[in-house]
């Protein structure tokens, strides 16, 4: 459209949300998307209104994890209607282009894509917008910190040194663009055998807490390596999705007249 190339004004988008929280990581595969989605579900369970934006243009995983792998967003004129599942309104590039289509955009195109999705989606607004960022410190992070007023960033990391080094780079990028660090989450922290309860620190344990203390960040907690977490992600049924209580079975004894 004619307006597509217009430079966005600073902090222009998502202003109808009270809090805009970015979930970030230095490396890929550390569980950032899993944490982002489950944080959204947990907030939803607390009675908050929550939306999500999957800003991972190159490897969107929200459609799979939220169980709408092939679902496509409705586009009406210039407006994109957000997807909705588990009471969360969300949008991902995966709901606009076909799965398997590789996105090979250069920086300015990524900027434009993020800008257009944020602008054209009819966001309902509310308490929280959770943004699942791509890993690293690239164009998307910079674009988002320019076009939205991020309340803060949650950093997801595994306890390994290689992951921690990259996480610190992501942290320093946010600090440079004045985005507060809400805290660090250590994911894949140890494995507790469901059979014998023995704890095996596959990627180590405690590294994130140590790093948080050293740098004066909040340490938000540890999530162990857990089979159900992985299965839930692959099946599109997030661990912390709202559990609707089953209706109590009708007590048929009182319905049947005793003769
Ligand atoms: P990222 O967004 O950092 O690339 P994902 O959230 O996509 O990472 O997670 C990568 C894979 O690891 C997924 O298959 C996910 O289900 C799995 N996973 C994430 N966290 C855990 C965990 N705590 N225990 C077991 N599997 C996990």
pLDDT tens string, the chain, 259 residues long: the values are 444 455 556 678 999 999 999 999 999 999 999 999 999 999 999 999 999 999 998 889 999 999 998 899 999 999 999 999 999 999 999 999 887 776 777 778 888 889 999 999 999 999 999 999 999 988 899 899 989 999 999 999 999 988 899 999 999 999 999 999 999 999 999 898 889 999 999 998 899 999 999 989 899 999 999 999 999 999 999 988 765 545 555 544 444 444 3
Distance CA 201, CA 257 (A): 61
Nearest CA to ligand 1 atom 24: 225
Q: Secondary structure of 206-223 in the HEC alphabet? A: CHHHHHHHHHCCCEEEEE
Top mutation candidate among 26, 27, 28, 34 for ligand 1, by most atoms within 8 Å of CB: 34
Nearest CA to ligand 1 atom 4: 29
Helix axis angle, 207-215 to 161-176, nearest 10°: 30
Nearest CA to ligand 1 atom 5: 31
So what CATH class is 17-254?
Answer: alpha beta
The per-residue pLDDT for 259 is 38
Find, among 46, 44, 79, 39, the residue nearest to 62 by Cα: 39
In order, the DSSP letters of 145-160 are HHHB---EEEEEE-SS
Q: Which atom of ligand 1 is nearest to the CA of 30?
A: 3
CA torsion through residues 215, 216, 218, 223, sign: positive
What is the pTM for the complete model shown? 0.89
Nearest CA to ligand 1 atom 22: 225
Top mutation candidate among 230, 231, 237 for ligand 1, by most atoms within 8 Å of CB: 230
Q: Kindly report the length of the chain.
A: 259
Q: Which atom of ligand 1 is nearest to the CA of 225?
A: 24
Ligand 1 binding pocket (C-beta < 6 A) is: 25, 28-34, 61, 187-188, 223, 225-226, 229-230, 233
The per-residue pLDDT for 250 is 54
Cα-to-centroid distance, 15 and ligand 1 (Å): 30
In sequence order, the β-bridge partners of residue 79 are 76
Cα-to-centroid distance, 11 and ligand 1 (Å): 31
Alpha helices in the chain (DSSP H): 32-45, 62-65, 107-120, 139-147, 161-176, 207-215, 227-235
**Contact between residue 60 and residue 94 where contact means Cβ atoms under 8 Å apart:** yes
Enumerate the domain spans of the chain: 17-254
Q: Which atom of ligand 1 is nearest to the CA of 59?
A: 4
Find, among 3, 11, 22, 4, the residue nearest to 153 by Cα: 22
């Amino acid at each position: 459209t004619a307006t597509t190339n217009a430079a966005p004004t600073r902090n222009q988008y998502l202003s109808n949300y009270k809090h805009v929280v970015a979930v970030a990581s230095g490396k890929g595969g550390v569980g950032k998307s899993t944490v982002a989605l489950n944080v959204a579900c947990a907030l939803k369970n607390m009675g908050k209104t929550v939306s999500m934006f999957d800003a991972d243009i190159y490897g969107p995983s929200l459609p799979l994890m939220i169980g709408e792998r092939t679902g496509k967003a409705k586009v009406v004129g210039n407006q994109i209607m957000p997807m909705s599942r588990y009471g969360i309104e969300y949008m991902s590039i995966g709901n606009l282009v076909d799965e398997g289509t590789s996105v090979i955009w250069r920086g300015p195109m990524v900027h434009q894509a993020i800008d257009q999705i944020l602008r054209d989606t009819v966001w309902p607004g509310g308490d929280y917008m959770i943004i699942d960022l791509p890993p690293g410190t690239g164009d998307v992070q910079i674009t988002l910190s320019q076009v939205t007023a991020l309340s803060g960033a949650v950093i997801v990391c595994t306890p390994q040194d290689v992951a921690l080094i990259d996480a610190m780079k992501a942290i320093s990028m946010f600090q440079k663009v004045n985005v507060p660090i809400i805290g660090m989450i250590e994911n894949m922290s140890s494995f507790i055998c469901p059979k014998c309860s023995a704890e095996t620190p596959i990627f180590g344990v405690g590294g994130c807490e140590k790093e948080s203390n050293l740098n004066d960040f909040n340490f938000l907690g540890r999530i162990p390596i857990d089979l159900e977490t992985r299965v839930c992600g692959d099946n599109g049924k997030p661990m912390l999705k709202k559990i609707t209580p089953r209706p109590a079975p009708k007590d048929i004894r009182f319905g049947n007249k005793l003769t």
